[in-house]
């Protein structure tokens, strides 16, 4: 069986002991083991800062952009093999795998595009300069420079490719080296990606390190210029935020955690119109893509009371048509959850949500999965729960069941009530609103914006080019307030902020013009 080693301090190193076992979630067969016991994380962090950081900071944005482009090309050249790993270790369908792997190479390419435009600069100016004295001779300008640390990228099991690549794109372009720590359960894909990049010699020494497995005492060795970018459960996110060394040294921490994302159908729509069709199609897809294991998946579906019965039945029919089974088979539309623990959690969560309503389709029971023998695999049926009293329910606004599971609920058709229900989720990554009425959408934006990192508007005019609310795009912010962790990733160049120090510089305007790079 394969042993996944870590790539730290410039070489591949195996941890001690038996290690954790990675399995195929369809067959439950072991695929690989991984351990980081005994690795010297203090040395790894120092190696990143000293070698990788120095090399990256010596480069211009244009040169760093070229690195990202080379990373994207190297990985894309192995696309089919990477998709196979996503299927084997992640339980992904080929389409799910593309969402992850192409998401990774696409985001790297998008940041390469942004960085190329910045050309020869090493520092960025932020905003316009400002006159500070009696005359414009005394001047102020904000600048953004690379932090002189390492970025530790702690990723969730559900996106072993995109999860680290979207963070690394921002960090490396900013000039900050990365240490990638995938979730152990799906580390195979991440491991292979880093292996490819090392084999191809794409990056300078120390710019990209890999911790295949537990983080050991890595966080204890971080210092004031380092960064932790975490995606995962709210509980782990809180532990990281409360970590004594990170607080003591003022290490920058970004958290993306749970999120009870909503999809809202506006009132008064033609059931056969483009907007209603878009809503149904996208909600069914957001529930079942990657077996619902997306932090941006729809968990709460808000439908005007008058439309509830019809929409519920249409959506149930769409979910029942989804073929569940071995994701390596072409007819299968949805694979299993990723681990036995995830399966147990999802079943338990379905029971809890159903306790406040009723199961319309699906449920916690074992699934007769296509192409799978002997009851193996961590399968859950696409599950729709109906909750007719969401204003007096708590679990539906609190419990994120990380699987193909959502709750449909009525609202009175006003933006006020829709926003009130969304707010009960205490902060979300994304809410989607489907409607064509300008005043309804306008009011909804005002009510939803403080509680969401992203608002996705589906309407007639864009029904043919909408990308789905679950896709985190390179040019839009990814991250939500409150329960969602309060983080911010991506969003074009503002995605680099986490890895940059913002500094105000004040002095003689003529001097500033000579020592700071030109704006354009």
Q: Which of 266, 268, 342 is nearest to 303 (CA)?
A: 266
**Shortest distance, position 463 Cβ to its own copies, whole Å:** 9
Q: Is 519 one of the binding residues for its own copies (CB under 8 A)?
A: no
Q: Phi, psi (5° rounding) for residue 18? A: -75, -35
3-state secondary structure of 302: strand
What does the DSSP assignment read for 313-330? Answer: HHHHHHHHTSPBB-TTST
For 81, other C-beta atoms within 10 Å of its C-beta total: 12
Q: Is 145 one of the binding residues for its own copies (CB under 8 A)?
A: yes
What lies within 8 Å, CB to CB, of 19 at 6+ separation is: 3, 33, 34, 35, 37, 213
For 59, other C-beta atoms within 10 Å of its C-beta total: 18
Q: Which residue has the tokens 């979630």?
A: 25
Q: For residues 253 and 488, is the Cβ–Cβ distance under 8 A?
A: no
Q: Is 494 one of the binding residues for its own copies (CB under 8 A)?
A: yes
* Tokens standing for residue 324: 């569940």
Distance of alpha carbon 118 from alpha carbon 77, whole angstroms: 27
Q: Which of 431, 413, 469 is nearest to 260 (CA)?
A: 431
Q: Just list the catalytic residues.
A: 256, 295
21 or 449: whose CB is closer to its own copies? 449
49 or 312: whose CB is closer to its own copies? 49
97 or 491: whose CB is closer to its own copies? 491
Report the DSSP pairing between strands 124-131 and 383-386. unpaired
Q: Is 46 one of the binding residues for its own copies (CB under 8 A)?
A: no
Give the binding range for its own copies (CB under 8 A) out of 6-14, 379-387, 399-407, 453-461. Answer: 453-461
Give the binding range for its own copies (CB under 8 A) out of 77-85, 200-208, 396-404, 479-487. Answer: 479-487
Q: Which residue has the tokens 């007819």?
A: 331
114 or 319: whose CB is closer to its own copies? 114
Can you tell me which of 3, 16, 467, 519 binds its own copies, judged by CB under 8 A?
A: 467
The footprint of its own copies on this chain (CB under 8 A) covers a number of residues equal to 83
315 or 433: whose CB is closer to its own copies? 433
Angle at 21 between CA 18 and CA 351, to 5 degrees: 135
What does the DSSP assignment read for 66-78? Answer: HHHHHHHHHHHHT
**Shortest distance, position 71 Cβ to its own copies, whole Å:** 23
3-state secondary structure of 156: coil
**Shortest distance, position 72 Cβ to its own copies, whole Å:** 19
**Shortest distance, position 235 Cβ to its own copies, whole Å:** 10
Distance of alpha carbon 353 from alpha carbon 393, whole angstroms: 10
Q: Is 504 one of the binding residues for its own copies (CB under 8 A)?
A: yes
Q: Is 70 one of the binding residues for its own copies (CB under 8 A)?
A: no
Q: Phi, psi (5° rounding) for residue 370? A: -65, 125
Q: Is 103 one of the binding residues for its own copies (CB under 8 A)?
A: no
406 or 463: whose CB is closer to its own copies? 463
**Shortest distance, position 56 Cβ to its own copies, whole Å:** 13
Q: Is 123 one of the binding residues for its own copies (CB under 8 A)?
A: yes
Residue window 125-144: x/- pattern of binding to its own copies, with contact defined by CB under 8 A: --x--x-xxxx-xx-x-xx-
Q: Is 351 one of the binding residues for its own copies (CB under 8 A)?
A: no
Q: For residues 488 and 498, is the Cβ–Cβ distance under 8 A?
A: yes
**Shortest distance, position 333 Cβ to its own copies, whole Å:** 25
Can you tell me which of 242, 330, 373, 518 binds its own copies, judged by CB under 8 A?
A: 242
Report the DSSP pairing between strands 208-210 and 178-181. parallel
Q: Is 121 one of the binding residues for its own copies (CB under 8 A)?
A: no
Site for its own copies in 373-432 (CB under 8 A): 423, 426-427
Can you tell me which of 4, 265, 454, 496 binds its own copies, judged by CB under 8 A?
A: 454
Site for its own copies in 222-241 (CB under 8 A): 223-225, 238, 241
Distance of alpha carbon 337 from alpha carbon 348, whole angstroms: 14
Beta bridge partners of 324: 334
Q: Is 63 one of the binding residues for its own copies (CB under 8 A)?
A: no
133 or 366: whose CB is closer to its own copies? 133
């Amino acid at each position: 069986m394969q042993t996944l080693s870590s790539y730290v301090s410039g070489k591949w190193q195996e941890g001690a002991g038996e290690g954790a076992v990675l399995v195929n979630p369809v067959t439950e067969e072991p695929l690989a083991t991984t351990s980081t016991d005994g690795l010297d994380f203090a040395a790894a962090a120092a190696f990143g800062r000293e070698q990788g950081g120095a090399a990256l900071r010596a480069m211009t944005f244009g040169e760093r952009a070229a690195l990202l482009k080379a990373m994207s090309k190297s990985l894309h050249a192995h696309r089919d093999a990477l998709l196979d790993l996503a299927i084997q270790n992640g339980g992904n369908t080929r389409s799910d795998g593309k969402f992850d792997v192409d998401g990774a190479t696409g985001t790297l390419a998008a940041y390469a595009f942004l960085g190329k435009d910045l050309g020869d600069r090493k520092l960025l100016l932020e905003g316009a300069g400002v006159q500070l004295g009696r005359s414009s001779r005394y001047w102020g300008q904000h600048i953004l420079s690379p932090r002189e640390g390492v970025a530790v990228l702690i990723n969730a099991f559900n996106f072993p490719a995109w999860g680290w690549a979207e963070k690394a794109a921002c960090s490396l372009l900013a000039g900050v080296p990365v240490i990638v720590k995938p979730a152990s359960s799906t580390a195979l894909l991440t491991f292979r990606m880093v292996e490819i990049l090392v084999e191809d010699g794409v990056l300078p020494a120390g710019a990209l390190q890999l911790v295949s497995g537990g983080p050991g005492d890595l966080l204890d060795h971080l210092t004031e210029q380092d960064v932790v970018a975490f995606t995962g459960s709210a509980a782990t996110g809180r532990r990281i935020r409360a970590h004594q060394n990170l607080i003591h040294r003022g290490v920058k921490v970004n958290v993306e955690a749970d999120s009870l994302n909503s999809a809202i159908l506006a009132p008064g729509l033609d059931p056969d119109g483009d907007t209603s069709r878009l809503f149904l199609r996208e909600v069914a897809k957001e529930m079942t893509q990657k077996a619902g294991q997306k932090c941006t998946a729809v968990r709460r579906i808000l439908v005007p009371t008058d439309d509830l019965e019809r929409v519920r039945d249409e959506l149930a029919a769409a979910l029942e048509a989804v073929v569940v089974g071995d994701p390596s088979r072409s007819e299968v539309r949805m694979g299993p959850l990723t681990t036995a623990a995830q399966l147990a959690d999802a079943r338990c969560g379905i029971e809890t949500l159903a306790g406040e309503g009723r199961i319309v389709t699906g449920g916690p029971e074992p699934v007769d999965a296509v192409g799978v023998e002997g009851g193996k695999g961590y399968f859950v049926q696409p599950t729709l729960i109906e909750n007719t009293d969401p204003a007096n329910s708590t679990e539906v606004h609190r419990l994120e069941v990380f699987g193909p599971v959502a709750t449909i609920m009525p609202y009175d058709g006003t933006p006020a009530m829709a926003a009130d229900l969304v707010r009960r989720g205490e902060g979300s990554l994304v809410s989607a609103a489907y409607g064509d009425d300008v005043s309804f959408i306008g009011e909804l934006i005002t009510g939803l914006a403080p509680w969401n990192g992203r608002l996705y508007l589906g309407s007639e005019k864009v029904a043919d080019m909408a990308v789905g609310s679950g896709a985190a795009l390179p040019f839009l912010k990814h991250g939500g307030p409150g329960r969602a962790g309060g983080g911010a990733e991506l969003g074009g160049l503002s995605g680099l902020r986490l890895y940059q120090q913002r500094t105000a510089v004040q002095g003689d305007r003529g001097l500033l013009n000579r020592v700071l790079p030109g704006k354009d």
